[in-house]
Amino acid sequence: MLARELHGDQVDKLGEDYVDGHLRRVQAAVSSYNDSVLSIAAALHDSLEDTKTKAEKLFSSGVPLEAVRVIGIVTKRYNEHGEEGYGLFIERIIDSGNERAKRLKLADVDDHLRPVPDGPGSEAVRKLVPRYELAQRKLLDALRD
């Protein structure tokens, strides 16, 4: 699986395997759309942001061009970090008009809002809840329009 090749043994803030945890949950969340491009993008949605992978590598590895485009849309830019930057990031996804990107980001945000057990990293995760709740509302509104 390409996601495993790219992310290797990466773990999330809670110490869970990134591919078998977050990426698989996001992919499962979009499965009801029966959209192979969206499913592929979900499995690889953090590859450009969290690894040294470039879009060209995804494409040359057989990822459909439209999936690479969606992944590109949901990848943060240099100025889209921190609280203010994250708001710009969500607005850019919405402004793209790309339904797949909006659905994918909503599934990603929903996964970040799942209940987390107490333990190492849980406080860091919980501190991000207001950011994700706002993003969730904006994305839901954009998908209703």
pLDDT digits 0-9 by tens, 112-122? 999 988 888 88
11/18 Cα distance (integer angstroms): 5
CATH, residue 116: 1.10.3210.10
As for how many domains the chain has, the answer is: 1
Residue 141 is predicted with a pLDDT of: 98
Residue 102 is predicted with a pLDDT of: 98
Residue 126: strand, helix, or coil: helix
Residues of the chain with pLDDT under 70: none
Domain span at residue 99 reads: 2-144
Residue 60 is predicted with a pLDDT of: 97
Predicted TM-score (pTM) of the model is 0.95
Q: Which residues of 57-89 are buried (b: 16+ CB within 10 A; e: fewer)?
A: bbeeeebeebbbbbbebbbbeeebeeeeebeeb
Q: If we measure between CA atoms, which residue out of 136, 115, 137 comes closest to residue 126?
A: 115
Residue 116 is predicted with a pLDDT of: 85
